[in-house]
Structure 1
Amino acid sequence: MAEFVLVAGAWLGSWAWDDVVPALRKAGHGAHAVTLSGLAERHEVPAGQQIHVQDIVDVVERGDLRDVVVVGHSYSGIPAGQAAERIGDRLKRAVFVDSNVPADGEAFATYWSTERVTALKDSGFWPPLTAEDYAGQGLSDDQITRIVDGSTPHPAASLTEPAVLSRPLGELPATYIKCLLDGETPSPDVLELLAGERWELVEMNTGHWPMFSQPEELARILVAAG
């Protein structure tokens, strides 16, 4: 039995995994969906990227979880990748769902323009997407409404703080799930990691939010990866 620790991307909370968790548990695994600080029901909690890393580590340590599969989606691949390293021998595998991956000393917004980063810092938040932004991602109108209605502004500090890794990310056992409606190939940094012996690639014929568009298939892939 694996213990899945599930972390959704920007603007989302633990509720984003509501259609995935039952399938994981039905397959005999533990499933622990995380709401990161500053988001959803925790939107008033101070947040930054290293706080998000600790949020994930805390779930593992409080539950004394073993054989942990840390799952990071989109933005949350960055804190999830760091947390996977920090939990040591509790980790069974890391899974990155169409996500960014951490690089030591770099932030989510490292390659944004100066003007965009300044605007982000001035506002303190990254505003949620609108319904139109979800077009072409394999989502029904009801699914888009569900995502938009549930989203909260994403704390800026989590996007501008640098990642901290003590060893190469490619040393972790990992699966990268590429959602093909959001681009046919992973980013160059992910391709480099996939060239190593410990990373594998799985493709899904859906968009960037598979926990909504194809939750059962995503759960099946997670179980196989774990």
Structure 2
Amino acid sequence: MTQFVMVAGAWLGAWAWDEVVPELRAAGHGAHPLTLSGIAEKRDVQGAGQQTHVRDIVDEVERLDLRDVVLVGHSYAGVPVGQAAERIGDRLARVVFVDSNVPTDGESFSLGWWQGQEKFEAELAANGGFWVPLAAEDFEGQGLTDEQIARIVAGATPQPGATVTEPAVLERPLGALPATYIKCLLDGGEPSDDAAKLLAGSEGRWELVRMDTGHWPMFSQPHELAQILLKAAAGES
């Protein structure tokens, strides 16, 4: 029995997995969607940073005494999930990165921002130290219906800025872990350079899976995403 611990990307809580969880449980597995500190129903938690999010994930695994764990990180959440994966030791079965960032030791999420770190961090400062959620028009072209976009926008909450500016801390190469990387093709045809490097240098421990959808597959293709997660847990390509 695999135990899936699933973390959605920036601005989103455990609710983002509502359409994926039932399929995993129907297949006989445990499914534990997790809201990180400072977001959604935990938005009142003060002072949350990236290492807070790493601890959130590790603490959930240990609190529930989970074994045979598949950690799933979407988008931003790939950064704390990748760090948590090496900290849960032999409880880990696999990591699944869903169109996500991956952590690099000593580097922050903001460092790789497409408009540049300085501009990104200036935007955080201008918004009281928070990363403001996207507007509805920013989700266009991602395979989402108007109803799905409205649901995401309505549920999104500002992301604490320290979660994206604190550096990652890794004790060993991420490529040493068993992992699946899911690339959502409407958000770009190839994985980012750091993920591509890990895929190429992992000596078969990392697998690349492509989905013909946008960056939020838990909304646009929840059934297909659930099936990929089940295959990853079973070691199937």
TM-score, normalised to structure 2's length?
0.94
Give 1:129's aligned residue.
134
Matched letter for residue 202 of structure 1: V
Give 2:105's aligned residue.
104
Give 1:81's aligned residue.
82
Q: Provide, for residues 56-88 of structure 1, a one-character-per-residue CA deviation record: whole Å limited to 9, x for no partner.
A: 001100000000000000000000000011000
Per-residue deviation, 1:119: 3.2
Give 1:31's aligned residue.
31
2:223 is the alignment partner of 1:219: no
Per-residue deviation, 1:206: 0.3
CA distance in 2 between counterparts of 1:67 and 1:91 reads: 6
Per-residue deviation, 1:118: 2.9
Give 1:113's aligned residue.
117
Give 1:184's aligned residue.
189
CA distance in 2 between counterparts of 1:10 and 1:116 reads: 14
Give 1:199's aligned residue.
206
Match for residue 166 of structure 1 among 162, 171, 178: 171
Per-residue deviation, 1:117: 1.1
TM-score, normalised to structure 1's length?
0.98
Per-residue deviation, 1:110: 1.2
Q: Which has the larger displacement, 191-200 or 99-108?
A: 191-200
CA distance in 1 between counterparts of 2:37 and 2:176 reads: 28
2:154 is the alignment partner of 1:149: yes
> Aligned residues, how many?
226
Secondary structure of the 2:111 match is coil
CA distance in 2 between counterparts of 1:115 and 1:72 reads: 25
The answer as to whether partners of 2:50 and 2:168 remain within 8 angstroms in 1 is yes
Matched letter for residue 49 of structure 2: G
